[in-house]
Amino acid sequence: MSFLNYFFNGKKENIRTRFAPSPTGFLHIGSLRTALFSYMYSKQHGGKFILRIEDTDAKREVEGAIEMIYGNLKWAGIKHDEGPDIGGPYGPYIQSQRLKIYKEYTDKLVEDNNGYYCFCSEETLEKMREEQIDKKQIPKYDRRCLNLSSDEVKEKLKSGAMFTLRMKIPDNRVIEIEDIVRGKISFNTNELDDQILLKSDGYPTYHLAVVVDDHLMKISHVTRSEEWLSSTPKHILLYEYFGWETPKWAHFPLILNSDKTKMSKRKGDVSVEDYIKKGYLPEATINFLAFLGWNPGTEKEIYSIRELIKDFSLEKVHKSGAVFNIDKLDWLNSYYLKKMSLEELTKRIIPFLENSGFIGRNDYNIEYIKKIVSLEQPRLKKLSEIGERSAFFFKDPQYSPELLVWRDMLFKDVSSSLNVSLESLSKISGNDFNRKNLETTLLKEAERAKNKDKGRLLWPLRVALTGLEKSPSPFEVLEILGKAISLKRVETAIKKLS
């Protein structure tokens, strides 16, 4: 019996959710959260998860963005059942390839008197908006083109006049939405604008395309950000105009900065790619995103994707915004890093060392790197830190002589201390140059320091080896660097003090 059938007793529901990003830039981390919620819900019910690319805003499309979407979803382990790259029964799954389909439905709207041509220029619309704002009115189209006669419309079309197509919003109607997350919400149509459905370039707007596509692709649950909630009554009207059954709705809360403002690039990393480049693991990221706006109601915090699918519930998604707590993400990432095998962690870290220039492409000592990774594994919060924390293992450290000074020591005292370390290290054979022997020998010398202050010996030595105020113990560093390099660095430090 399959995993899903095991949990749901073979129950089959025709659940179809979709993720429909626009290729206008990097994939937002909030969009990945939306994809995750939609994916988990569909898989929980043995349904299908569809990927659709909504590229009707041609002016803003970014080259390579579609491939980035594929890559980000693959990295996160969110696999779609239908989509542009794998096909499916309801394609094409890229909106720019569906223009003829949309034309059929815009024509129907005009025929049924639910849509009309608008010939107003951008300048006219802007002036209209300014006047309404001055009068403290809700800015919306004043319907001047709705009153054009059929002959006037035909004449303008015949002359090649630029036009858009607007939907006709009925007056004085209350439209109710039963949202799975937010409950019942009401909108009065008097507050709605006659939305443009077809732009002057022949491309549909989001509002038309999303309704047509969701219906034709048999989407059962429209799961998306709360930013689209105010558009939903317009979408419900379009379903009504076309005589279609409406899907179920679930609008997810926004992801917020720590100051409760909307998460934006101005205040930190927002793209999935940002987090991949910093070395956050997909396992940790998915675990973290699942809890942004949802909670199982238990104390459990660590979840695999399989466990998330089992326990997730749209009904338990919160209404209020979810604060993006980077400290919590770091904690989760650190947890997964600690649990990873040394071989797997080393494999994932190597690309970061290559990108930092510390090792060559396919040119490195794997056993040496494993030692470094083993040392840093308990301390790492993200993979990219390996370069920040371990640079001294790959190149000579740069530091000022003042950093070698411990407390009230003078340069001559530091020089004497380093000479003691140099003499002690020189006496240890290469075969015995391991942490245990190093620690025994050096601590014995440190006990002889003034006031038995071990820092007088160990601090200058550690800085000489690493060039850092904070680093692993000198014994661990010495063992990995080896005798020859260690002695050379101590000698360099002594010269700095002369």
Q: Mind telling me the catalytic residues?
A: 265
CA 167 to CA 93: how far, in whole Å?
A: 24
Task: Return the structure tokens found at 308.
Answer: 């998330």
Task: Tabulate helix, strand, coil % of the chain (nearest 5).
Answer: 50, 10, 35
- Pairing type for strands 174-179 and 183-188 reads antiparallel
Task: Return the structure tokens found at 81.
Answer: 């059942």
351: left (phi over 0), alpha (psi -120 to 50) or beta: alpha
Cis peptide before 23 (omega within 30 of 0): no
Return the DSSP state at 253: P
Q: Dihedral through CA 307, CA 308, CA 311, CA 313, nearest 10? A: -170
The sign of the dihedral angle between the CA atoms of 245, 247, 248, 251 is: negative
Instruction: Select from 112, 214, 202, 107 the least CA-distant residue to 164.
Output: 202
Residue 212 dihedral angles phi and psi, to the nearest 5° = -60, -45
Neighbours of 106 (CB within 10 A): 19
As a whole number of Å, the end-to-end CA separation of the chain is 75
The DSSP-derived string for 135-198 is TTPPP----GGGG--HHHHHHHHHTT---EEEE-PPSS-EEEEEETTTEEEEEEGGG----EEE
* Cβ-proximal residues to 64 (8 Å cutoff; 6+ apart), any chain: none
CA 201 to CA 318: how far, in whole Å?
A: 39
Provide the total of helices (H) and of strands (E) in the chain, helices listed first.
20, 11
* Cβ-proximal residues to 250 (8 Å cutoff; 6+ apart), any chain: 37, 41, 179, 180, 181, 221, 222, 223, 224, 314, 317
CA 35 to CA 78: how far, in whole Å?
A: 8
